[in-house]
Amino acid sequence: MIPASAPVPVSFEDRMATVDFRVAADAHITVDGDACRGCSTRACVTACPANLFVPMADGGILFNYEQCFECGTCYLVCDTAGAITWRYPEGGHGVAFRRS
Amino acid sequence: MSAPGSLTASDNAASSDAARFDAVVVGAGPAGSAAALVLARRGHRVCLLERGPYPGSKNMYGGVVYPRILDELLPGWWEEAPVQRWVTRRATMMLTADQALTVDFRSEAWGQPPYNGATALRPDFDAWLAAKAVDAGALLVTSTTATGLLRDGPGGTVGGVTTDRPGGDLRARVVVACDGVNSFLAKEAGLYGKPDPANYTLGAKEVLALPAATIEDRFALGPGQGADFEIIGCTGDIAGGGFLYTNRDSLAVGVVLHLPALAAAGVRPEQLIAGLKAHPAVAPLVAGGELVEYSAHLIPEGGYDMMPTLTGPGMLVAGDAAAMCLAAGIWLEGVNFAIGSGMAAGESAAEALERGDVSEGGLSGYERRLRDGFVLQDHRRLRHAPHLLLSDRVQRRYPQLACDIVEDLFTVTNPEPKPGIGRLVRRRVASSGVRLRHLAADSWRALRTFG
């Protein structure tokens, strides 16, 4: 009893829309654009599972904290000292998994 | 569960030394709730602090718990634990681009008390265990992040935590840090060295909704029975693996990725999940499943050799915060190690409180208990497993070699007669590029690690 239906591609936006986030007023991650401009690896851009790091034309990184899984991948793969400052969001805020 | 406003009571308590807590347990995951439950049962005043809006809200895992560790702590746990399915089918798949070799085991015994593994959702399971601590008398405070340690002077004995609530310092004679894989408290206490990305993997998963009857048909399961598929060879150039588990009316499918390789590969985690779901051996199992939640979390993959110092003055570290997740290939366990270490932390903290000595020496029963039990015995025995399993040969060459040998074995090439199996294996090994001395060395390492 295997349906022949092909998998429906899910856009990244729809993928993230399946997750509950209670967005805090303050960002819990800060990215130092100056430090990023000297970085050639930019591992955070592809490694972040929530795709929160966007490379900019000027060599900096645009970061959005609202849909963060709070996993810690970004600061661990970052090899530029001081580029990413990471802490937990304010209590009660951030990701709230329901079916994990 | 305490409403966010309930910290006011402990704000008042904090101002009076006599009314401070005996213990603050940070993190209401399985380690923290087990520690809080043990401490509360022994009559200690315990605050169980959770930064999420409910226990389990920050937690994500592959999907299987092994709850036999609860046999003594919560007899008859299986009558009430919020389980999705009892795992009665356990398969290990080796994939190449277009082949699959699966070792598939099933046992009806695993579907009967006392059971073995179960799929469960962490917001359900963690909230259930936290409620047991509350029933025993612990005060659960949710939506509150511990922001640092209170100490008697620099480097002095830990005497509580600061929180992000106004006036929210929580004083306690012992702090049990169960604050997860990123444990900022253990790092602040100086119990960890500089974190090395090579010790971590990223788990990313999709939960796909499917009707329960469809899941039981596809996986050949009886009602309430579940399947656990561990997969190797599905993560391309990135060392890691994949998994596929059955919940009641959803599947959990995902990948585990070694961080340094993920950082170097320039591939996104969800692309690798898409690749796994499209594999001919996996696609029919997940077809038509609707994505209902995407999630990701780090795993402290390095095991024994990455563990922090487990005890400091006035402080213990347990669960993922102490890197106690066991990622040893054929054994992938974490919640049971979290509960086991949390129980040991609770017992040792209670013992130290009762003796009035919460110094490092007074808390030394913790490490002794862990070494006497499965937590550190399993971890020490399997300390070389993560390195072996993340090696290129185990990740790619051996799955390819095994699939090719089996394909040769079962391909009927009449009119040619069958070759001898020995000849066939030697031919494939020779053409695989795997050197016999490496195969012998890895076999020896595997035997020493797992034997």
Contact B264 A16 (CB under 8 A): no
B211 and B145 in a common domain: no
Distance, in Å, from the CA atom of B271 to the CA atom of B202, rounded to the nearest integer, reads: 14
In this predicted structure, what is the pLDDT of residue A6? Answer: 52
Contact B363, B316 (CB under 8 A): yes
Query: Is B292 in Cβ contact with A18 (below 8 Å)?
Result: yes
- Which of B33, B29, B31, B30 lies closest to B47, judged by CA? B33
Q: How far, in Å, CA of B269 to CA of B235, rounded?
A: 9
CA separation, residue B324 to residues B21, B23, B54, B423 (Å): 27, 21, 23, 44
User: Do the Cβ atoms of A3 and B288 come within 8 Å?
Assistant: yes
| Least confident among B122-131, B152-161, B218-227 | B152-161
**For chains A and B, what is the number of CB pairs under 8 angstroms?**
148
For residue B6, the model assigns a pLDDT of 44
Are B294 and A15 an interchain contact pair (Cβ–Cβ within 8 Å)? yes
Q: b/e for B42-80, b at 16 or more Cβ within 10 A? A: bebbbbbbbbbbbbbbbbbbbbbbbbebbeebbeebbee
Measure in Å the smallest separation between the Cα of B356 and chain A Cα atoms.
32
CB–CB of B50/B142 below 8 Å?
yes
Among candidates B54, B56, B297 on the partner chain, residue whose Cβ is nearest the Cβ of A69: B297
> For an interface test with B, which of A8, A20, A73, A84 has the most B Cβ atoms less than 10 Å from its Cβ?
A73
In chain B, residues with a C-beta closer than 8 Å to the C-beta of A19 are 293-295
Are residue B56 and residue B143 in the same domain, yes or no? Answer: yes
Q: How far is CA B389 from each of CA B241, B253, B282, B443, rounded to the nearest angstrom? A: 10, 20, 22, 12
Angle at B274 between CA B269 and CA B277, to 5 degrees: 130
Q: Are residues B327 and B431 located together in one domain of the fold?
A: no
**How many Å apart are CA B190 and CA B155, to the nearest integer?**
9
Domain boundary at B300, B321, B353, which? B300
Same domain, B129 and B226: no
Cβ distance B189 to B312 under 8 Å? Answer: yes
Of B300, B327, B342, the last residue of a domain is B300
Chain B contact present for A24, CB below 8 A? no
The full length of chain B comes to 451
Same domain? B345 vs B372:
yes
Across the interface, which of A5, A10, A47 has its CB nearest the CB of B291? A10
Q: How confident is the model at residue B62 (pLDDT cuts 50, 70, 90)?
A: confident
**B165, B267, B278 ranked by CB distance to A46: nearest:** B267
Do B141 and B239 have their domain in common? no
Mean pLDDT of chain B: 94
Which tokens hold the place of B122?
A: 């962490």
Indicate the burial class of B432 (C-beta count within 10 angstroms; 0-12, 13-18, 19 or more).
Answer: middle
- pLDDT surpasses 70 at B421: yes
pLDDT greater at residue B390 or residue A94: A94
pLDDT at residue B3 greater than cutoff 90: no
Peptide bond just before B415 cis, omega within 30 deg: yes
Average pLDDT value over all residues in chain A: 90
pLDDT tens figures, A39-57 = 888 999 999 999 999 998 8
From the CB of residue B417, how many other CB atoms can be counted at a distance below 10 Å? 7
CB contacts, 8 Å: A10 with chain B: 291
- From B231's Cα to the closest Cα of chain A, the distance in A is 19
Asked if residue B327 and residue B216 are part of one domain, the reply reads no
Q: Is A27 on the interface with B (CB under 8 A)?
A: no
**Ramachandran sector of residue B448 (left: φ over 0; alpha: ψ -120 to 50; beta: rest):** alpha
Task: Report how far apart, in Å, the C-alpha atoms of B153 and of each of B18, B23, B26, B53 are.
Answer: 20, 19, 21, 32
Residue B42, pLDDT above cutoff 60: yes
- Which chain B residues in 19-58 lie under 8 Å from chain A, judged by CB atoms? 51-54, 56-58
Q: Distance between CA A42 and CA B264 in Å, rounded?
A: 9
Of B52, B270, B278, the CB nearest to A96: B52
Q: What distances in angstroms separate CA B133 from CA B47, B123, B343, one per listed residue? A: 10, 16, 12
Where is average pLDDT lowest: A28-37, B73-82, B333-342, B375-384? A28-37
- B382, B403, B432: which is the final residue of a domain? B382
Same-domain check for residues B326 and B293: no
Output the domain CATH number for residue B283: 3.30.9.90
Segments forming the whole domain that contains residue B343: 4-62+67-77+121-193+308-382
pLDDT in tens, B272-290: 999 999 999 999 999 999 9
CA distance B306 to B231: 25
Q: Do B296 and A73 touch (CB under 8 A)?
A: yes
The tokens describing A99, both together, are 């079916």
Answer whether residue B67 shows pLDDT above 50. Answer: yes
Domain count across chain B: 3
Is residue B125 domain-shared with residue B114, that is, in the same domain? no
Shortest CA distance to B249 belongs to which of B214, B288, B294, B293? B214
pLDDT for the residue numbered A58? 85
CB-based contact A46 B268, cutoff 8 Å: yes
Q: What is the CB-side half-sphere exposure of residue B449 using CA atoms within 13 A? A: 21
Regarding whether B202 and B72 lie in a shared domain, the answer is no
Structure tokens at B398: 């051996």
Same domain, B147 and B183: yes
| Average pLDDT estimate for A11-21 | 97
**Per-residue model confidence (pLDDT) at position A51:** 96
A70 to chain B: which residues are within 8 Å by CB?
58
Q: Give the pLDDT confidence score for residue A81 in this predicted structure.
A: 86
Whether A77 has its CB under 8 Å from any CB of chain B: the answer is yes
In this predicted structure, what is the pLDDT of residue B387? 84
Q: Is the pLDDT of residue A2 over 80?
A: no
pLDDT at B368 over 90: yes
Distance (Å, whole) CA B338 – CA B30: 6
Query: Is A54 at the interface with chain B, CB within 8 A?
Result: no
User: What would the pLDDT profile of B182-221 be if each residue is shown by its tens digit?
Assistant: 999 999 999 999 999 999 999 999 999 999 999 999 999 9
Asked if B372 has any chain A CB less than 8 Å from its own CB, the reply is: no
Q: In terms of domains, do B161 and B207 share one? A: no
Among B122, B145, B283, the residue with its CB nearest the CB of A97 is B122
Pairing of strands B240-246, B225-232: antiparallel
pLDDT at A13 > cutoff 80: yes
* pLDDT attached to residue A7: 57
Which positions in chain B touch A14 (Cβ < 8 Å)? 291
Partner-chain contact B293 A96, CB within 8 Å: no
Which helix (H) or strand (E) covers residue B243, if one does?
strand B240-246
Hey, what domains does chain A have and what are their CATH numbers? 12-90 (3.30.70.20)
Q: Tell me how close the Cα of B248 comes to any Cα of chain A, in angstroms.
A: 11
Q: Is B86 helix (H, G, I), strand (E, B) or coil?
A: strand
- Among the residue ranges B86-95, B326-335, B365-374, the one predicted with the least confidence is B326-335
The confidence score (pLDDT) of residue A82 equals 87
Give the closest residue to B249 by CA, choosing from B219, B229, B272.
Answer: B219
When pLDDT is cut at 50, 70 and 90, the band that residue A25 belongs to is very high
Q: What is the pLDDT of residue B382?
A: 95
Q: Measure Cα distances from B404 to A99, B249, B370, B418 in Å.
A: 38, 36, 43, 16
CATH of the domain at B149: 3.50.50.60
Average pLDDT over every residue of B327-334: 91
Q: Encoding tokens for residue B223?
A: 């009602």
Question: A-chain residues within 8 Å CB-CB of B58?
Answer: 70, 94-97
What digits encode the pLDDT tens for the residues B221-265? 999 999 999 999 999 999 999 999 999 999 999 999 999 999 999
Q: Between chains, do B270 and A73 touch, taking CB under 8 Å as contact?
A: no
Indicate which of A21, A40, A77, A99 best probes the interface with B, i.e. most B CBs within 10 Å of its own CB.
A99
Provide mean pLDDT across the span B85-89: 98
Give CA separation, B124 vs B30, B47, B223, in Å.
Answer: 11, 21, 20
What percent of chain B lies above the pLDDT cut of 70? 96
Residue B263 C-beta-side C-alpha neighbours within 13 Å: 20
- Beta carbons of B48 and B39 less than 8 angstroms apart: no
Q: Work out the burial of residue B89: count CB atoms within 10 Å of its CB; fewer than 13 is exposed, 13-18 middle, 19 or more buried.
A: buried
Cβ-Cβ contacts under 8 Å, A1 against chain B: 214, 217-218
Q: Is the pLDDT of residue B16 over 60?
A: no
Question: What pLDDT is stored for residue B386 in this prediction?
Answer: 87
- The SS3 assignment for A30 reads strand
pLDDT at residue B2 is higher than 70 = no
Q: Is the minimum CB–CB distance between A47 and chain B shorter than 8 Å?
A: yes
CB contact under 8 A, B163 and A91: yes
